[in-house]
Amino acid sequence: MNPQDITQAADALWQAAHDGEAIAPLRERHADIDADAAYAIQNLNTQRQLRQGARLVGRKIGLTSKSVQQQLGVDQPDYGALFAHMAYGDGEPVPWQALMQPKIEAEVALVLERDLPEPGVTVAEMIRAVAFALPALEIVGSRIAQWNIRFVDTVADNASSSAFVLGNTPVPLAGIDLRLAGMVMECRGEQVSLGAGAACLGHPLIAGVWLANRMATLGQGLKAGDVILTGALGPMVPVRPGQTYEARIGQLGSVRAVIGDLA
């Protein structure tokens, strides 16, 4: 894609988010779009957010499930930006109007206390850099009509990000094994998703290492205070207005996303 086409694609996604009207897949509009172009589109809108006063608070990792990777024809995760206006506390209402085609998934969030500026980060270095873990719910959304996405579509669309909810009891990593942490998510007392830490690239810390190395290679190393959403522990489920979704993650506790009603 040439620079003009990249700008046009970024503008289309930006307008879709502003209008609340999903658009056709970018791959149908731009047959020559590839992963590099998709990340360039994402970056244009990230920079636009920052210029308009948004505050970057971390990154999310997507496509950590092998089955989803196979579905989209890729062999690696992707990443997107997390902004302060996307963050909600446990039980804090999430306005329905802020969401587009929302779905929800339970994740492990890692919060850093050290910068990770250089590539070559190891699991041991990641463990030392993490201040604590939290249970999290990510509300993903898509500006692409009917979730008709492939890898390039979701990457360009900030990894299909929308909002996230963090638990409020930080848990140090010492003495816990996130790989074995079981997860159950319920809505109105009904189980809607089930999983475990091992579903996230084999271990949420491995996902964190992948992200740290990817961002450092790009010269955008992770910083102290950053939130890392490490990826889904189980299947995502559609979100309905006026509902509460609660996830319990072994060794980390619980977190609730309270979805607002229709306007």
- Residue 86's pLDDT is 98
Question: Can you name the residues that pair with 103 across neighbouring β-strands?
Answer: 140, 238
CB 24 within 8 A of CB 33: no
- Residue 68's pLDDT is 75
Domains of the chain: 55-259 (3.90.850.10)
- Residue 129's pLDDT is 98
- Residue 175's pLDDT is 87
- Residue 155's pLDDT is 97
> What global pTM score does this model have?
0.96
What are the mean pLDDT values of the chain's consecutive 10-residue runs (263 residues total)? 96 97 96 96 98 98 83 85 98 96 97 98 98 98 95 96 97 95 96 96 97 97 98 94 98 97 84
- Residue 160's pLDDT is 96
- Residue 69's pLDDT is 75
- Residue 22's pLDDT is 97
Closest CA to 202 of 194, 193, 210: 210
As a whole number of angstroms, the distance between CA 214 and CA 119 comes to 7
The phi and psi torsions of 176 (rounded to 5 degrees) equal -120, 155
Q: Token pair for residue 101?
A: 């085609």
- Residue 73's pLDDT is 76
Ramachandran region, residue 175 (left: φ > 0; alpha: ψ -120 to 50; beta: rest): left
